[in-house]
A and B are shown apart, each in its own frame.
Chain A
Amino acid sequence: MTRNEAASDTLVIGGGVVGAALAWGLARAGERVTVLDDGDIVLRASRGNFGLVWVQSKGANMFDYARWTRRSADLWPEFAAMIGEETDLDLAYEKPGGMHFMLSETELEAARARNFAMKDVTGPDDYGAEIVDRHELDKIFPGLGPDVIGGSYGHHDGHVNPLKLLRGLHIAMEARGVRYVSNARVESVAKDGAGFAAETAKGRFSAAKVVLAAGHGTTELAPALGLDMPLRPEKGQILVTERCATRLLPMPTHVLRQTDEGTVLIGDSHENTGYSTASYTPVLTDIARHALRCFPALAALKVVRSWGCVRVLSPDGCPVYHASETCPGAFAIACHSGVTLAAAHAMELAGVIASGSFGDRFAAFHPRRFSHAQAH
């Protein structure tokens, strides 16, 4: 199959939330974009994630990440409206703020200290996280379990239906002329003349620029382009209840969220089991037990499904954005929070990539920080 030998401005490798947000943004910047996606059997963090657009506590170890997260949360309402208008799809995005429940004095003190440490992180623009006591929590969450002693409320937090987001991005990018090729696993990608060429199961594709946005699939492709993408897998498991007409949760919390369609999602675990997406009863039991401590009323709901999914994490948990020094025009983008950062990726990062270079942007997200850490 050689008919795919059609030049684009940019090849985006990966059709998940990160790749699709960038492809939409690049098309919006006027580029001709081809998205090369793998098959349905790959890890697909975009289909297994929880759907939080979450600001509080992100980037406690890297304030540039905290600011970038906040930037994305600020852009999210406009971003969701744009995708909604271009697709006639309601992404079920809401920004009511988010609550992190605290079940011990130790947790509460740690959250208080973190909120204090981060209070000036966005300058005069309020960081927007505050500790609320049990009395305040009772007004927001009727039926809270006795073990919850307080919480941290983040004004800028929200949530979205992540499957509708992924679908919306795909419809919107194709409407803007992006060519999407599924089952086109990229076997190799390398410099080719003035641009780049990718060999795939569906033929050869070339473009002036290339963006690796394939989650864990990025690591293997990166070195040939002078890119470094150190990522580690971390499994999270999620339980889903039957649909519930009662609005149990007026806002998302860090482990519970009720979707627009009524189901309650219950997470989350942090497990080191390699790239396995298996879902196991012992961990699910712990997840359910913790959820019931927060909300005893959940016991009345049936769990209809559970699954495991693998997070895309760098060694410090913060994003890795790398513009190749040796192959200018090649970029690699990986992050844990593809949903939270979708707005910033689509509306800002894509524009920077379209310019051909990061310039002085995103220095904090460069992977050189990991080699420094090893040197110590």
Chain B
Amino acid sequence: MPKRIETGGATVTFTFDGRPVTAIAGDSVASALAAAGITRLRDSVVSGAPRGIHCMMGACFDCLVEIDGIPNRQACMTLAAEGMTVRAQQGAVSVSEGGRA
């Protein structure tokens, strides 16, 4: 399990699937989740296999999560913010003529 090498500093709290996660200000959502021991962020739309953090630099699109109701956001490229609602993803997004279903 990943371990923080820096501690201290201001903290922010968000939820992942309803569970509170404490991050240090400046953490990406992905690093905060990793520090909290959360590694399964979604299931592959194609195979159903679990997916999590891989590249940590915005290239691989493996760490997609739903943040504040918007799916497919890159956890590694999004700063953790106070009060965020983060959810693991199952399945692909749907759209209708009016937008996202």
For A243, A261, A299, A304, the residue with the greatest tally of chain B CB atoms inside 10 Å of its CB is A243
A1 lies within 8 A of chain B by Cβ: no
- List, in ascending order, chain A residues with CB within 8 A of B72's CB: 242, 302, 304
A143 lies within 8 A of chain B by Cβ: yes
Bound Cα distance from A299 to B96, whole angstroms: 11
A246 lies within 8 A of chain B by Cβ: yes
Segment at the interface with A among B9-17, B22-30, B86-94:
B86-94
If A242-B72, A246-B101 touch, whether A300 touches B45 (CB-CB below 8 Å) is no
If A242-B72, A243-B45, A304-B72 touch, whether A297 touches B99 (CB-CB below 8 Å) is yes
Q: How far is the CB of A306 from chain B (nearest CB, A)?
A: 13
Are the C-beta atoms of A299 and B99 separated by less than 8 Å? yes
Q: How far is the CB of A137 from chain B (nearest CB, A)?
A: 15
Are the C-beta atoms of A262 and B45 separated by less than 8 Å? yes
Are the C-beta atoms of A246 and B45 separated by less than 8 Å? no
Are the C-beta atoms of A262 and B97 separated by less than 8 Å? no
Interface residues on chain B, number (Cβ under 8 Å): 15
Are the C-beta atoms of B61 and A262 separated by less than 8 Å? no
For B71, B92, B95, B100, the residue with the greatest tally of chain A CB atoms inside 10 Å of its CB is B95
B residues sitting closer than 8 Å to A (CB atoms) are 45-46, 61, 71-72, 91-97, 99-101
Given contacts A244-B93, A297-B97, 19 further A-B contacts (CB under 8 A): A142-B97, A143-B97, A242-B72, A242-B92, A242-B93, A244-B92, A244-B95, A245-B92, A245-B94, A246-B95, A297-B95, A298-B95, A299-B99, A300-B93, A300-B95, A300-B99, A300-B100, A301-B95, A304-B72
